[in-house]
Amino acid sequence: MALQKQSPASACKAFEEDLVLCHYGDLEREARATLERHMAGCAGCSGYLEELATLLPLTLKADEPPTEFWTQYNRELRHKLDAAREQKLGWHRLTALFQLRFLPAFATAAVVILALGFTLGRGLWTAKINPQDDELAEALPVAENLEFFRAMDVLDDMDLLDVMGSQGNNPS
């Protein structure tokens, strides 16, 4: 004989909230009397209250995991704690270098390194001037005023033409 799945009882929408309150014993006396009169003639609401009495206590049952779960949980927790402790120790070693007691040593080392760098690096940082750079430096102002010098050449050419023209007009 196959078990049929019993469909949940359906309560009247107007009384559904009152049925839950009635189950928990939180319904006022007048509303409870009204609900009991209604349930006397309504099989849906009566069935709904019976289902609440059957199902709601099941939701309160504790779900206790098996022992293997707790053993595995304990093992994973210890591994995570050990890993966190090792990581903290690694950072602790690195930050120990920057404690105040080491500050004078670091400052002294920085000053020595800077002094050596400036002293020994002086020859590396000075600019070496090529003779070709001197010629370029002299030609640069001329190049900047090139248009001016071209205009001067044109004026010289015009003076030469005037002189040549005046010699041609004078028959000597």
Alpha-carbon span 144 to 139, nearest angstrom: 9
Provide mean pLDDT across the span 87-102.
70
Over 60: is that where the pLDDT of 4 sits?
no
Angle between helical axes of 29-41 and 43-59 (0-180°, round to 10): 120
Over 50: is that where the pLDDT of 1 sits?
no
Q: What is the DSSP letter of 138?
A: H
For residue 52, what are its two tokens?
A: 């609440």
Alpha-carbon span 166 to 29, nearest angstrom: 140
Provide mean pLDDT across the span 102-120.
86
Task: Flag the least confident range among 87-91, 112-116, 128-132, 155-159.
Answer: 128-132
| Mean pLDDT, the chain, integer | 77
To 10 degrees, the CA torsion angle through 72, 77, 82, 85?
A: 180
To 10 degrees, the CA torsion angle through 64, 68, 72, 77?
A: 40
CB burial readout 75-89, b (16+ within 10 A) else e: eeeeeeeeeeeeeee
What's residue 147's pLDDT?
75
Percent of the chain with pLDDT over 70: 73
Query: What CA–CA distances, in Å, run from 45 to 16, 19, 25, 29, 119?
Result: 8, 8, 16, 18, 98
Q: Is the pTM of this model over 0.75?
A: no
pLDDT tens digits for 18-67? 888 888 888 888 888 988 898 888 888 888 888 888 887 777 767 778 88
Alpha-carbon span 52 to 28, nearest angstrom: 19
Question: Residue 7: which pLDDT band, with cuts at 50, 70 and 90?
Answer: very low
φ and ψ of 67, to 5 deg: -65, -35
The domains of the chain are located at 16-59, 132-166
What's residue 76's pLDDT?
93
